[in-house]
Amino acid sequence: MTSWKGTSRDHGSSAQSCGRWRSIALFQPSLWAHISLDFSPELDFDEVNFDARFALLEAHLGRSAEAPLTVKFQCYSDGDCITRDEEYRALDILKKHSHRWQTLEMVGPKPLFTYLGNTFSLLRNLDVYVYPETDEDDVGALATFASCPRLQVATVNEGRFGSSSRVLLPDHLRRYKAGNLVMRHLEVLRSASDSLVECVLHVADDSTPLPSHTPRIPLPDLLRLSVSGATILDALDTPALGELYCFRPSPPLYSFLARQKTLRKLVVGEMSSADDITQLLHSLSSIPELGLYVPMEFASDFLKALAPSQGPSPTLLPSLTTLNVGFIPLRDFQVIPAPIDQDLLMQTIEAQWQTGGLRSVNFYCMRMSPSQELLARMRVLRDQGLKIELFTSPRDLDRVMIPRYFDNDDKPYSSQDLWWGIYEAEQQEQNQ
């Protein structure tokens, strides 16, 4: 591994300490197929002998022979997207081998990306973050990758909003993960509509409605989809979709669900009202796996909707086999909500187990100290064959509900204001 970091040891330095390792390492191209260049601000440019470093880089690449390369390039940034001559010198060396790049991870401003050229005949995996600019234009920073014949996986500005210029990528992408404006996302989906299998979209302007009469984009092979908000769903046609993760639900979600025939798993972020919860449940008659965050203010509404003796029959979700639910206060709560009704919670779970197909339940309840009765009823259900788990951390519940690749937005519990508000409210309760 080549690195600018002084604390990192490459194969060459290791080889000097062991003659046998040296004889093996120098003639194994695969051991030299990883390049990591970090120009981040903590690098002291005045103390680094770049001529010597570039010579080592040339030697490193020479030892890799014709092995496919993994290249990681972290650009220097002082907040003004300024690049340094040394970065372009490093790219000049790397570009000679761009036909061997199989994986590229790169962070930097638009000029560095346009400087790369377009000879990426082997590139399969792309993970980039393009610094935002004040004068965004329609010439996409990633246009240089638009003709990569083997590109399968692209991640662009994951988890944060960078450049909003066009993202031009090949029409044979299989996995796409990005943060951008909604219309920019739709451009990529339209170009790769016949090949996408998995998609994760963080929509920066989700609160902005789509233009009227926006045509739906057919995505016939899309199996798994994660969206930070529901607005973009109005523009998608996904006949084969099996999993949906929607972190900020809104009305477009319900009309989208009505069009789904093959959906087997749904994870929904914080609901905003009891009516939303009811509307969601009534649109899910055939869903086998459901995960959601229910505000504690509406916990009783949710539980009563599933309970046998109050409200609809437990067959409201007749196909449900797995239920993952977190009970969290609303982000902007004014009065700290009452703890969950533990008896009603267990009645609901027991009814779904006895009359439906429920096989697994995972749940988290903020501000709940489980009673001995609740724990005893859980043990009875376990003895009968139900997999049931009470989590003590919402993050642990997340790991069960959401595969890491599809995690796409802040959770209700991630707000520091929420935790601080609960702490203050509890302190006031104790002082009364």
Strand partners of residue 226: 200, 245
* Strand segments (E) across 64-162: 69-74, 101-108, 125-130, 153-156
What is the distance between the alpha carbons of residues 271 and 258, in angstroms, rounded to a whole number?
A: 18
Q: Which DSSP string corresponds to 18-76?
A: -HHHHHHHTT-GGGG-EEEEE--TTS-GGG--HHHHHHHHHHHHHHTTT--EEEEEE--
Structure confidence at residue 311 (pLDDT): 46
How many residues are recorded in the chain?
A: 432
- Quote the distance between the C-alpha of residue 401 and its chain's center: 13
Please give the sequence-ordered ranges of beta strands (E in DSSP) within 319-393, or none if there are none: 322-328, 360-365, 387-391
Q: How confident is the model at residue 1 (pLDDT cuts 50, 70, 90)?
A: very low
What does the pLDDT look like over 230-240, one tens digit per residue?
999 999 999 99
Q: Distance between CA atoms of 286 and 260, rounded to whole angstroms?
A: 10
- How many helices (H) does the chain have, and how many strands (E)? 13, 16
Contacts of 63 (CB under 8 A, 6+ apart): 26, 29, 31, 32
Given pLDDT bands bounded at 50, 70 and 90, which one contains residue 49?
confident
Least confident of 86-100, 268-282, 403-417: 403-417
What pTM does this model have?
A: 0.86
Q: Which residues contact 182 (CB under 8 A, 6 or more apart)?
A: 203, 204, 205, 206, 208, 210, 231, 232
Confidence of residue 362 (pLDDT cuts 50, 70, 90): very high
pLDDT score for 412: 60
Amino acid letter, residue 8: S
Task: For residue 410, name the pLDDT band (cuts at 50, 70, 90).
Answer: low
Q: What is the pLDDT of residues 191-236, one digit of tens each?
A: 888 899 999 999 888 878 888 888 999 999 999 999 999 999 999 9
Whether residue 152 is predicted with pLDDT greater than 70 in this model: the reply is yes
188 has pLDDT over 90 = no
Question: What are the pLDDT digits (tens) for 287-330?
Answer: 999 999 999 989 999 998 886 545 445 467 888 999 999 998 87
Average pLDDT over residues 149-167: 77
CB 108 within 8 A of CB 75: yes
Lowest mean pLDDT among 19-23, 271-275, 277-281: 19-23
Domains and CATH numbers, the chain: 1-132 (no CATH), 264-432 (3.80.10)
